[in-house]
């Protein structure tokens, strides 16, 4: 995107031309006649959020931090002066005509974290399913063994059989594991929902909050020039 900067003849205001649209900014007589009419210099908005300023005619003079330039990469922290009378460019007026810029580089981490957490939940789900089938087999086995063991030993010597205690313990443990696996598995839908909510809140345009959808960062969002909703320009570095 480019802004042609110059002076509006007659009223001596700042003229900012973007495409075919000319915007006149600032009070009358705020721009001295050292600034060329309509096209003194050109300001290009770069993808990384910096600007490149270019002097448009040899007879014009464009200065950055006091030094004349032909073309220079600058940021809004640099002082830009135009013409031999050194009209100082007001960046705030420039920002009135170029779309707002927002840095979206943090969205790569948001997507990465979402993908990792989704993967973890899938693993948890698989583990819960496996544990559930194992524990039910174990419970049945323990109960069968217990009944068999107790029946087999009843009345053999009339004494206390330690195996009864072991069987009871095995049954308790397997029942415990089964309950735990069911509880863990029952938390998964809520965890999935929380993760999706977090993603929907954070994988968004920093300017207007529009959700970027489930598209990839590197192959999707980072290729977008601007927000589809608010048109804020995306900076990726």
Q: How many Å separate Cα 114 from the centre of its chain?
A: 11
Under a CB-based contact definition with an 8 Å cutoff, are residues 34 and 82 in contact? yes
Q: Please identify, using beta-carbon distances, which residue of 82 and 212 lies nearer to Zn ion.
A: 212
| Shortest distance (Å) from residue 234 CB to Zn ion | 9
Interacting positions 208-227 with Zn ion (CB under 5 A): 208, 210, 227
Nearest distance, CB of residue 100 and Zn ion, angstroms: 9
Contact between 205 and Zn ion (CB under 5 A)?
Answer: yes
Among 98, 224, 230, 235, binds Zn ion (CB under 5 A): 230
Residue among 80 and 227 whose Cβ is closer to Zn ion: 227
| Type and span of the H or E element at 142 | helix 107-153
Task: Check the CA dihedral 103-109-112-114 and report its sign.
Answer: negative
**Min dist. Cβ of residue 98 to Zn ion (A):** 15
d(C-alpha 13, C-alpha 30), whole Å: 6
Enclosing H/E stretch for 79: none
Q: Residue 87: how many CA atoms within 13 Å on its side-chain side?
A: 25
Nearest residue to 232 via CA among 207, 196, 199: 207
Q: Map the footprint of Zn ion across residues 20-59, applying CB under 5 A.
A: none
Supply the minimum distance, in Å, between the C-beta of residue 188 and Zn ion. 33
> Treating both helix axes as pointing N-terminal to C-terminal, what angle do 107-153 and 162-202 enclose, rounded to 10 degrees?
160
Minimum CB distance to Zn ion smaller for 110 or for 227? 227
Nearer residue to Zn ion within complex by CB, 174 or 207: 207
Closest CA to 5 of 55, 40, 52: 40
Q: Which stretch binds Zn ion (CB under 5 A): 25-33, 65-73, 186-194, 206-214?
A: 206-214
CB of 206 to Zn ion, least distance (A): 8
- Site for Zn ion contains 207 (CB under 5 A): yes
The verdict on 229 binding Zn ion (CB under 5 A) reads yes
The residue assigned the tokens 């063994």 is 145
Q: Least distance in Å: CB of 227 to Zn ion?
A: 3
Residue 226: name the closest of 213, 210, 218 by CA.
210
Which one of the spans 22-30, 44-52, 133-141, 199-207 is the region binding Zn ion (CB under 5 A)?
Answer: 199-207
How long is the chain? 237
Closer residue to Zn ion (CB): 13 or 207: 207
Binding site for Zn ion (CB under 5 A): 205, 207-208, 210, 227, 229-230, 232
């Amino acid at each position: 995107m480019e802004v042609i900067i110059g002076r509006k003849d007659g009223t001596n205001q700042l003229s900012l031309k973007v495409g075919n649209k000319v915007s006149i900014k600032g009070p009358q007589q705020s721009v001295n006649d050292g600034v060329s009419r309509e096209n003194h210099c050109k300001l290009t908005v770069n993808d990384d959020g910096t600007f490149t300023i270019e002097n448009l005619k040899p007879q014009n003079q464009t200065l950055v931090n006091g030094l004349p330039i032909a073309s220079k990469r600058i940021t809004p922290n640099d002082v830009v002066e135009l013409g031999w009378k050194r009209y100082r460019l007001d960046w705030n007026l420039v920002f009135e005509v170029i779309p707002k810029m927002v840095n979206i580089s943090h969205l790569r981490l948001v997507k990465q974290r979402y993908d990792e957490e989704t993967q973890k939940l899938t693993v948890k789900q698989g583990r819960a399913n496996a544990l559930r089938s194992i524990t039910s087999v174990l419970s049945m086995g323990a109960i069968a063994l217990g009944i068999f063991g107790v029946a087999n030993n009843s009345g053999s010597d009339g004494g206390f059989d330690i195996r009864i205690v072991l069987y009871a313990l095995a049954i308790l443990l397997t029942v415990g594991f089964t309950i735990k696996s069911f509880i863990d598995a029952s938390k998964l839908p809520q965890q999935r929902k929380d993760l999706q909510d977090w993603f929907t809140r954070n994988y968004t345009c920093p300017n207007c909050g529009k959700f970027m959808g489930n598209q990839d960062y590197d192959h999707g969002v980072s290729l977008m020039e601007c927000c589809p909703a608010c048109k804020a320009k995306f900076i990726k570095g």
